[in-house]
Amino acid sequence: MKTYDIICIGAGILGSMHAYHAALKGKKVLLIERDVKPYEGTVRNFGQVVPSGQALPTWREIGVESLNIYKSIQEKFDISIRNNGSTYLASNEIEMALLEEMHEVNKSMGYPSELLTRDACLSKFSLLQKSYCVGGLFYPQEVSAEPNHLIYRLIEFITKSLPIDFLNHHTVVGCEIKNEHCITSLANGEKIKSDKIIVCSGREFKILFPEIFQTSGLQISKLQMMLSRPMPEINLPGNILTGMTIRRYEGFHSLPSYSKLSYNDWELKLKEKGIHILFKQAIDGSIILGDSHEYADASNPECLDFGISLPINQMMIKEAQRIMNLPSWEIVNTWNGYYATHPNEIFTHDIEHRIHIITGIGGKGMTCSAGFSRRNIDRILQ
């Protein structure tokens, strides 16, 4: 029987980053993915790495650790990280007050940000609607990734440079502890031995440990996304986050002006569908545009409609048009993405210090998984 120190199940960003940090600690690791290549939340997202929006202070700090990890890997191997910053655009005075208060928090934490006047925003983004923006906040250190490249390049990097084997197209159907070690069972009947197992199976709650997931408090969120035709003639640099994002992201919830926010009829309709508009221009000039949120309990994911709601897409385009005056609104692709989420920001469950289940990092997985995994590997190997 093959033997490893650690087996990581699921090669999304959480599983791959746990494999990376375990191998950096000298462990011999096997990373197992059921699909030919990962194609869940880790490839269906915006690729915005935005510690600025995360709950203060812990998840902000974890996000900043992730930034540094991504940048250090990018120096050695191209994993598609671009250091082009994040800009939040406020649509009214209360949202602007939240950006000003956040700027003060950033100063106290030593995290660089720059307040932008309305004119500065309009000159930075020539397509920005004059009627939308009252000002902004820019984070020069933040990065973006190409979600349809990042995980594949990361897996290539970690398997080439560290003692990590990657086994794709194999579903893990069982994990058990036997005589002071773990046994991982694959769907083809093969069994593999290890000291520890780390389960990062994303929103898959039915194959492994269904009884734990049923009562875990985990939820699945379904998001709708769109992609415009390539527009290399325009320039929308970095991660662009807008007024409804300032209202939605946890980082802003603890600030004094948060309780002063009010919603008009249109904003209430957006809030009801969990819509906030983010723009992210990909390397080919196309723009990833989204998103909306619907939720279901881990015990009943089927209650989420399987289709893409065209009225939701239309609402997102209408809100996006209020913000940017793009030369074309031709949508060439639209898809659903899903992530697991938990009220405690992440779900972790340990079985006898040998099997460690980690999922439910929510909408911050591309931002926080690298830093969280480093901390979690330190804890698991203690």
Ligand X SMILES: Cc1cc2nc3c(=O)[nH]c(=O)nc-3n(C[C@H](O)[C@H](O)[C@H](O)COP(=O)(O)OP(=O)(O)OC[C@H]3O[C@@H](n4cnc5c(N)ncnc54)[C@H](O)[C@@H]3O)c2cc1C
Which positions lie near ligand X, rule CB under 6 A?
Answer: 9-15, 32-35, 38, 40-42, 44-48, 171-172, 200-204, 207-208, 223, 225, 291, 337-339, 359, 361-367
Shorter beta-carbon distance to ligand X: residue 35 or 272: 35
Shorter beta-carbon distance to ligand X: residue 98 or 208: 208
User: What's the min distance (Å) between Cβ of 373 and ligand X?
Assistant: 10
Answer for the pair 70, 231: CB distance below 8 angstroms, yes or no: no
Shorter beta-carbon distance to ligand X: residue 9 or 102: 9
Shorter beta-carbon distance to ligand X: residue 96 or 361: 361
User: What's the min distance (Å) between Cβ of 173 and ligand X?
Assistant: 7
- How many angstroms separate the CA atoms of 119 and 154, rounded? 39
H or E segment to which residue 116 belongs: strand 114-117
User: What's the min distance (Å) between Cβ of 145 and ligand X?
Assistant: 9
Shorter beta-carbon distance to ligand X: residue 64 or 172: 172
User: What's the min distance (Å) between Cβ of 213 and ligand X?
Assistant: 11
Q: Helix or strand or coil: residue 298?
A: coil
- How many angstroms separate the CA atoms of 158 and 163, rounded? 8
- How many angstroms separate the CA atoms of 170 and 263, rounded? 48
Shorter beta-carbon distance to ligand X: residue 125 or 249: 249
User: What's the min distance (Å) between Cβ of 242 and ligand X?
Assistant: 14
- How many angstroms separate the CA atoms of 211 and 205, rounded? 9
Q: Write the CB contacts of 207 (distance below 8 Å, at least 6 apart in sequence).
A: 171, 172, 173, 201
Answer for the pair 102, 259: CB distance below 8 angstroms, yes or no: no
Answer for the pair 31, 18: CB distance below 8 angstroms, yes or no: no
Shorter beta-carbon distance to ligand X: residue 122 or 167: 167
User: What's the min distance (Å) between Cβ of 310 and ligand X?
Assistant: 17
User: What's the min distance (Å) between Cβ of 266 and ligand X?
Assistant: 23
H or E segment to which residue 159 belongs: helix 147-161
Tell me how crowded residue 76 is: count the other CB atoms within 10 A of its CB.
9
- The secondary structure of residue 375, as a DSSP letter, is H
Element counts in the chain: helices (H) and strands (E) = 10, 19
